[in-house]
Structures are given as structure tokens and as C-alpha cells.
Amino acid sequence: MPNPDVTPYDALLLVSFGGPEGPDDVVPFLENVTRGRGIPRERLEEVGKHYSIFGGRSPINDLNRDLLASLRADLAEAGIDLPVYWGNRNWDPYLRDTLAQMAADGVTRAACFMTSAYSSWSSCRQYRENLYDAVEGQPGAPVLDKLRHYFNHPGFVGPVVDATLAALADLPDDVRRGAHLAFVTHSVPTAMNDTSGPDGGAYVEQHLSVSTEVARQVGEETGIEHPWELVYCSRSGSPHAPWLEPDVNDHLEALHGAGAQAVVMVPLGFVSDHMEVVYDLDTEAQATAERLGLPARRAATAGTDPRFVAMVRDLLLERATVERGEDVVRASVGSLGALWDRCPVGCCANPKGERPALCGEQ
Ligand SMILES: CC1=C(CCC(=O)O)c2cc3nc(cc4[nH]c(cc5[nH]c(cc1n2)c(C)c5CCC(=O)O)c(CCC(=O)O)c4C)C(CCC(=O)O)=C3C
Ligand SMILES: [Fe+2]
């Protein structure tokens, strides 16, 4: 058991995306998300319909409430007395309001855990810009440190491997051996991938590294080398701008055309079953697979898996140790090793222009 000393932190902050909680929230939520992003009207109407299918309520906030409860229980169990706060980029509770509450409660320095595991402007730097905006002009707001990227932490990869094994086991016996693994993440503009990480290309590189590691561990367990590919969902933006491909639906068509017997979709780009998972995969991609007659299963996300929850504690204690100037062992699996605590200068540059951000080297 690592030393449960969280000095210098006096709070943990869960930072997430946010989502609508009823039909009246959907349009203002979409306006929050896409402000200044140049998303075509038709795409927004289409996405609005996805939310309508689920009664205008995204699962994401309830999933974060579950994660909060699990984090609090895990910390208490480990003998760590630390308040856990929650703030979102796009919906209530907004980061700015949470930071005001933290200031009022006398919090001086908080570690931030983001529900987004990989590098890119959208998945890392934009959150850092949001933190800047949330403390800007707030007297007494705490100092904020972002916990490092965890896409390759065993507490994330372990649950993904087990979920993939469970989904494989759920396929009919006669097609299981021939199943492909389709690792799925959120598409982003290729220009955004090109500026991701300190040297560019980190978004795809990190996903490929995790995919390789998950496929390896699954193969070790099953004794079968399932063919795998990294594919994308939730493409948005202008149809003229290039985004990462192939789309998961096109990929299912291609697999079917090539005679694949079955597929397991593994949403390793996401940490919980939010809209991208329950609509883009469970609704749309499943319909594609059914139309093709291709047996398909979707692997669970990390959610509140105890290993994932304990990972947050591990990252918190790791960072606290670093900030106290003590030596630390950093857990990671796969080819890339544990990444930085503070994002390097110029990391994940916004293709549309520089904005101030917290939690970077400066
Ligand atoms: C990389 C990435 C993640 C993973 C990392 C992370 O988790 O942060 C992610 C997560 C999410 N994205 C979400 C929702 C949306 N994303 C949109 C738009 C966009 N996402 C992008 C990227 C990502 N998005 C990009 C490049 C755009 C284009 C606009 C822009 O350049 O910024 C739009 C606008 C409509 C549309 O264009 O589709 C919506 C509604 C939700 C909430 C789901 C729920 O409600 O359950 C979550 C967790
Ligand atoms: Fe998104």
C-alpha cells in the first residue's frame, strides 16, 4: 500500500464534459459545446436527435455521480480524508461554479482528474483552457494540477482487457475464434491529431499503443491472435475537413465484405457509457452490424471498475509524492511509458489559435 499522504493537496477535482439532463437542456448544451467551432447546423440537428432518442438526457452526468461516489468510498477505505469535487466543461455543475465553491470552502490546492485519457486539443488542452477560464478573476481559487495521462495505466487497460474478454465470451461459439477486435475512439480532425502531444500525432499514437497492448493481453488469455484495427466514431465538423478514419460503420461493412465472422467493438477512447457509446456504438453501429448479419458485441467501458477507481487514487498519491520532491514509481503498460505531469510548452496546440491554459510547463 503506497503512503496515503496527499500533501500538498486538500481536494480532488473530477473534471468532465457534462451533458443534458432533459429535453430543454439539449439545445443550450449543444450551443455550449459548439460555440465558435463551426459545426454545420445539420450536424447539430442530427446530434440533437440522438439525445431525443434517450429522452433528452445524456447518461454522462449520472455516470460521473457514480464515479464520484466510488472515488469517495475508495479514498475513505484507504484512510484518505480528502473532499472530492466535480465540475464540467459544458453543463451544470460548471467548472467555474465548482471552483467558486472550492474557494469558499478554503481549498488551496487541488489535483484534477479528467474523464479523458489521451492527448489532443479536444481531449486535453481544451480542458486546461477551461480550467484557466474557470479560475480567471476568481479571488482565492485553488492552485490546480492535472493528473497525468492514464491511457496506458494498468488501472485503465486492465478493465478494458477484461471487458474485451467478456464480450468475446458472449459471442456465439462458432464465430468467436474468428472475431475481429475493433478498437473505437472519437474521431477528431486530422489537423488536431497532427498538433496533438508535444511533437504531433500523439492522439493516434497513444490509441495504437493501447490497442496493441489490449490485443496482446487478450491474445495471451485466449490463445488466439484476433485481428484488430483502430477505428473512429462521432465524426463531426465540415464534410470538407479531413477527420480520422475509418468510421466504425464503414469498418463493419469492410469486415463483412472481407468475410469476417464476428466483431467486438472496444470503445477504448472513452471511460464511461456516455452518448458516443450508447448512441454511436450501441444504436447506430449495432444497427449496421445487424443489417449486415455480422455478429457484434460491444465491450464495457471502465466506468466504476474498482481498478479504475483505485487508479485515480494511485495517480493522486503519485503526483502528491512528486510535488513533495520525493521519488516515485509510475505504473504504465505498453510502449510509451508514463507521460509528463505538466504538459510541455506547445503541447496539443489548438489548430484554431492559442489560448491561455493551466497545468503546463511555463
Ligand atoms: C476527442 C473527443 C472526446 C473524448 C475525450 C473527452 O471525453 O473529452 C469527446 C468526448 C465527448 N463529446 C461529447 C459530446 C459532443 N462532442 C461534440 C463535438 C466534438 N467532439 C470532439 C472530440 C471529442 N469529444 C470534437 C473534435 C468535436 C467537434 C467540435 C470541436 O471541434 O470541439 C459535440 C457537438 C456535436 C457534434 O459535433 O457531434 C457533442 C454534443 C461528449 C458528451 C457525451 C454525452 O452527452 O453523453 C463527450 C464525452
Ligand atoms: Fe465530442
Q: Is the CB of 61 under 6 A from ligand 1?
A: no
**Grid coordinates in use for 32?**
455550449
With residue 14 as reference, give the H or E element that holds it. strand 11-16
Which is nearest to 266 in space by CA: 150, 161, 156? Answer: 161
For residue 133, the model assigns a pLDDT of 97
Say what the ipTM of the complex is.
0.97
Q: In which band, very low, low, confident or very high, does the pLDDT at 126 lie, cut at 50, 70 and 90?
A: very high
pTM: predicted TM-score of the whole model, two decimal places: 0.97
Residue 28: which CATH number?
A: 3.40.50.1400
Q: Is the CB of 275 under 6 A from ligand 1?
A: yes
d(CA 246, CA 263): 15
> What average pLDDT does range 51-63 have in this prediction?
97
- Ligand 1 pocket test, pick from 30, 33, 274, 301 with the greatest ligand atom count within 8 Å of Cβ, gives 33
Domain region containing 27? 11-150+304-323
Statement to judge: residues 284 and 313 lie in one domain = no
Statement to judge: residues 311 and 272 lie in one domain = no
Residue 96 reports pLDDT greater than 70: yes
Statement to judge: residues 140 and 176 lie in one domain = no
Q: Is the CB of 58 under 6 A from ligand 1?
A: yes
For residue 161, the model assigns a pLDDT of 98
Residue 204 reports pLDDT greater than 60: yes
Q: Is the CB of 19 under 6 A from ligand 1?
A: yes
Statement to judge: residues 111 and 245 lie in one domain = no
Residue 351 reports pLDDT greater than 80: no
> Backbone phi, then psi, for 129, in 5-degree steps?
-65, -40
Number of domains in the chain: 2
Q: Is the CB of 17 under 6 A from ligand 1?
A: yes
Tens of pLDDT along 296-349? 999 999 999 999 999 999 999 999 999 999 999 999 999 999 999 999 999 999
Q: Residue whose CA is closest, atom 44 of ligand 1?
A: 275
> Backbone phi, then psi, for 20, in 5-degree steps?
-70, 150
Statement to judge: residues 135 and 217 lie in one domain = no
CB 184 within 8 A of CB 281: yes
**Ligand whose nearest atom lies closest to the CA of 189:** 1
For residue 41, the model assigns a pLDDT of 87
Statement to judge: residues 194 and 142 lie in one domain = no
> What average pLDDT does range 219-227 have in this prediction?
97
For residue 38, the model assigns a pLDDT of 82
For 61, residues 6+ apart whose C-beta sits below 8 A from its C-beta are 18, 19, 21, 88, 91
Q: What is the per-residue DSSP string for 188-257? A: -BHHHHHT-TTTS-HHHHHHHHHHHHHHHHHHHHHS----EEEEEE---S-TTS-B---BHHHHHHHHHH
- pLDDT > 70: what percent of the chain? 99
- Ligand 1 pocket test, pick from 62, 90, 122 with the greatest ligand atom count within 8 Å of Cβ, gives 122
Statement to judge: residues 270 and 308 lie in one domain = no
Report the mean per-residue pLDDT for the chain. 96
Residue 202 reports pLDDT greater than 80: yes
Tens of pLDDT along 238-265? 889 999 999 999 999 999 999 999 999 9
Q: Residues for the chain: how many in total? A: 362
For residue 2, the model assigns a pLDDT of 54
